[in-house]
Amino acid sequence: MPPNGIVLLIFGLVSYLIGGLPTAYIAARKLKGLDIRRLGDRNPGAANVYRSIGPAAGVAVAAIDIAKGSVAVLLARLLVDSTPMEMIAGAAVIAGHTWPVYFRLKGGRGARRPQECC
């Protein structure tokens, strides 16, 4: 049975919030007490963490970012089992990563997102 509109909306919102989790910001704050948005190229992404904080932190942030995309799509697959829902979840994760509500819609570049969630 295809999901109804409210299910699509809820999964889209949850996926957006998952994608918007500021993993690079959290890692920089926890590891060095710094705001990654004020370091390097000022982009809150894994590449900036890699250059500004260190390779181990950058790789960890990238791995967590990959997991965020995968988790949203897998949740859609497991709970709703609908290809359109999986596509909405994937698109919402990309949107959340690129325009996170947590940072007033200023986030990462979203360059790796399609490979991570599909």
Where do the domains of the chain lie? 5-117
Q: Is the pLDDT of residue 113 over 60?
A: no
Percent of the chain at pLDDT > 70 equals: 86
Q: What is the model's pTM? A: 0.81
Residue with tokens 């859609």: 76
The per-residue pLDDT for 62 is 93
Q: Where are the alpha helices (DSSP H) in the chain?
A: 5-19, 23-32, 46-52, 55-79, 83-98, 113-117
Give me the half-sphere count of Cα atoms (radius 13 Å) on the Cβ side of residue 51: 12
The per-residue pLDDT for 2 is 62
Integer Cα distance of 1 and 22 in angstroms: 34
The per-residue pLDDT for 4 is 79
The per-residue pLDDT for 107 is 63
pLDDT 10s digits, 36-91: 999 989 888 899 999 999 999 999 999 999 999 999 999 989 988 888 889 999 99
